[in-house]
Structure 1
Amino acid sequence: MLIERVVNNNVVFSRDAEGQEIIVSGRGISFNKKVGLEIDPDRVEKIFVTKDFENDSRMEAILKEIPIDYFEISNSIISFAEESLNKKLHESIYLSLSDHIYTTVSRFKEGLCLKNPMLWDIKRFYPEEFKVGKEALAIIYKKLAISLPIDEAGFISLHLVNASMDEDLETVYELTNLMQEISNIVKYHFQMDFDMESIYYHRFVTHLKFFALRLTTNKKAAANNESELLEIIKCKYINAYACVEKISEYLQNNYHYTVSDDEKLYLTIHIERLIYKTELD
């Protein structure tokens, strides 16, 4: 690989074997190097394909501003996340997470700490990502000797959710807020608290996550024409279906979203199962 453009001592632009523009990073990768010279493969720590990023000018500005330590921290967090979550995260997280951690630490050094208003919901809806978020705080402390508040584990969790769902961060915030609203309707309808560690709550949240994602991205589920089964379920699980009708009304009034019969069916089944198992316990 040849250097095409030098960003700083730690980042250069080059091209891969297929001719795609790439960003190559590594500590001291361009030290005493000029455009046209070979990149030392022993110094390469990470390679990004630039087409994976939407805003080239913002991307280069981030690469210029952020010290290499923050990319190394992000790399450690992302490697841990991919192993723990057993999923590949979108390449864009390397820049977005590095940028986030850098600005957070900069604010922290100035005595500014942002409260995370969604922390409780993040713990509930994304427990595995939140575990990684807490480990991320340990990685940051080990590298920088800075102890960030637990709120930051929540913010990092949302970056992981964003990178695994391939949605923008604004959509992830909307999604989490919507899940919280629906969950509250269920909670207050049945006047019941749920065991967030139970497998039934986890299954309910998983279904809720995909349902809410369809709503926030305006994607309807494929229709299965389960109207006859819905009529049976309505009679069998009267209270759970009444709760679903409340959810449907709320979504129609606040989001102009019409819940389909198929969606009502599966929501009713998941809510009934959650309530039944909670009452048993």
Structure 2
Amino acid sequence: MVIEKILNNNVVVTKDENQLEVVVMGKGLAFNKKPGDFISKDKVDKVFLLSDRGISQKFQELVHDIPLEYLTIAVQIIEYAKQKLNKTLNESIYLSLTDHLYTAIERTKKNIQMPNVLLWDIKRLFPEEFSIGKRTVEKIAIEYNVQLSEDEAGFIALHIVNAQTENPEMDDMYAYTKTMQDILNIVRYYYKTDFNEESVYFYRFTTHLRFFLSRVVNQTQHEGDVEEELLSIVQKKYGTAMTCVEKIQTYLTELFDYTMSSDEKMYLAIHIARLAEKNR
């Protein structure tokens, strides 16, 4: 591999066997090296192939300015999250999470805390991602002797949730989380009850809601092949839930100017009906 650009002693820009630009990381990789010199693949710990040119450029700028350990821990957490969630994460997380961890650790060292107003909702709506956030906080405490707050575990969780969407903007993620909470409140108030948030039915409902809201935010309506006969059966069997869905539709129209398709309404009603039924 030939060095094209040195970002710091541990990170360089080069090209892979397909002549695609990659950022490679390894301890002391560029020590006493200059552009044009060869580096051994044996010294490379991680290869970043970032297809988005804008993200790649910002990532290079970030890596140039921060110590290797911040990038290392971010990569470890991202790989762990992919394995635990069994999902592909948007490549932008290498930039956003590395930057966040660097900022959070440096801020904590100065005894500056940032409250997370969504912490309670994050714990409830994204338990798997929050557990990864807590693991990150524990790892940083052990390896760097810096104790991040539980609020930071929530922020880390949001970065991971964010990386599962097609449009990974952190500001959108706050609105997305609030929208989930608003819909849960619509269902809760409609049925005049609280739900068992530890139940598998609540988990299934919130999981369905997450993917549904991803379509809403991106204005990509799902129009399936649901037959009118099946829709009619669902309307008769789950009439109460369908009425609740119409209240959700009113909310989505006002907020996103989004109209649910027939099958979106049907599947949402089925999840709501099961949640309400199992909560009795």
Question: What is the TM-score normalised by the length of structure 2?
Answer: 0.92
Q: Unpaired segments of 5 or more residues in structure 1?
A: none
Counterpart residue identity of residue 201, structure 1: F
Identity of matched residues, %: 45
Asked if 1:229 corresponds to 2:230, the answer is yes
| 8 Å Cα contact 1:226/1:261 also seen in 2 | no
State whether structure 2 residue 36 is matched by structure 1 residue 36. yes
Mapping 1:127-146, distance limit 5 Å: 127-146=127-146
Note the C-alpha offset of 1:265: 1.4
Letter in 2 for 1:112: I
Q: What is the CA distance between 1:97 and its match in structure 2? A: 1.1
How much has 1:29 moved relative to structure 2? 0.8
Look up the equivalent residue of 1:33 and give its one-letter code.
Answer: K
Q: Which residue of 2 aligns with 1:102?
A: 102
Report if aligned partners of 1:53, 1:92 keep a CA contact under 8 Å in 2. Answer: no
Query: Which runs of 5 or more residues in structure 2 are unaligned?
Result: none
> Quick one: distance in 2 between partners of 1:85 and 1:225?
30
- 1:3–1:35 CA contact under 8 A, matched in 2: yes
1:51 equivalent in structure 2: 51
Report which stretch shifted further, 152-161 or 253-262. Answer: 253-262
Q: Using the alignment, how far apart are the partners of 2:143 and 2:40 within structure 1?
A: 25
* Residue pair 1:29, 1:39 contacting (<8 A) in 2 also: yes
Q: Which runs of 4+ in 1 moved over 4 A?
A: none
Q: Give distance in 2, aligned partners of 1:50 and 1:234.
A: 47
Provide the rounded CA distance (Å) in 2 between the counterparts of 1:148 and 1:53: 32
Query: How do residues 131-210 of structure 1 correspond to structure 2 at under 5 angstroms?
Result: 131-170=131-170, 171-210=172-211
Whole-Å separation in 1 of the counterparts to 2:254 and 2:3: 56
8 A contact 1:77–1:136 mirrored in 2? yes
For 2:7, what is the secondary structure of its paired residue?
A: strand
- Cα contact 1:226–1:262 (8 A) shared by 2: no
Q: How far did residue 252 of structure 1 move?
A: 1.5
Equivalent residue number for residue 67 of structure 1: 67
How many residue pairs match? The answer is 279
Query: 1:71 corresponds to which letter in structure 2?
Result: L
Q: How does 1:240-279 map to 2 (within 5 A)?
A: 240-279=241-280
Matched letter for residue 156 of structure 1: I
